[in-house]
Amino acid sequence: GAAAEGDDALLPAEEGAVDEAMDPMAPALSNAEAHAVAQRRLAEAEEARDQLVTSSTESSETWDSIGLDSTVAELARRRFGRKPTAAQVRLIRALIHEDHRDVLFSSVTGCGKTAALVLAALHGVRTESSGVNFIVCRTRDVAYAAKCLAESLLKPFGSGYFVDAEERDDADWLLCLEGSDRFE
């Protein structure tokens, strides 16, 4: 049926185990055999996930080399360490170097997308390449994380630079970052 096809697409059959399990005429797998198949598939899925995350996190770039303003690069170093993730490198470069208004970006959870958005917005304020920056977040959790990150990065500069997140009908939250004399 459709469920069996979907399962096969997500977890490819090994040595005909799925076919045997789905075939009512084939001998049933013992609990031990079914457990072994499940353990192998789980290990393969974890390995594939780790490879995907590693490819999104390895980078030889530095915060300065990707073109961030020196003050923003220093804030990033203090908060995240010497090097951005590969996903952050791609996203920040697209946001601060490309000659366009919209960027569509997708990557694995935990690779630093939200941090890249906040850092690019701060870069825009520092370099005056953009006036007011809005980060529209799909969920309140992401909006809250972006808000907390922006506040922690801007804390050394005092307050008054940040318009708090607010609930809207058309979007869950908006995060607005504005420059001021102390940060600019």
Which DSSP helix (H) or strand (E) runs through 119? Answer: helix 113-126
> pLDDT tens across 80-123, in order?
999 999 999 999 998 888 666 677 788 888 888 889 988 988 88
- Residue 33 within a domain: yes
* Residue 37 identity (one-letter amino acid): V
Does 125 share its domain with 161? Answer: yes
Cα gap 37→23, rounded to integer Å: 16
Nearest to 124 by CA among 107, 145, 103: 103
Does 124 map to a domain?
Answer: yes
Reported as a single tens digit per residue, the pLDDT across 10-42 is 444 444 444 444 555 656 667 777 777 777 887
- For the entire predicted model, the pTM comes to 0.57
100 and 155 together in one domain: yes
Phi, psi of 43 (to 5 degrees): -60, -40
Residue type at 147 in one-letter notation: K
Q: What is the pLDDT of residue 62?
A: 93
Tell whether 31 and 121 lie within a shared domain.
no
Task: Note whether 47 and 91 are same-domain residues.
Answer: no
Nearby residues of 90 by Cβ (< 8 Å), 6 or more positions away? 105
Residues 6+ apart with CB under 8 A from 26: 19, 20
In a domain, 42, yes or no: yes
The answer on 98 and 22 residing in a single domain is no
pLDDT by residue (tens digit) across 143-182?
888 888 888 888 776 654 444 444 444 433 344 544 444 4
Residue 116 pLDDT: 92
- What residues make up the domain containing 128? 70-177
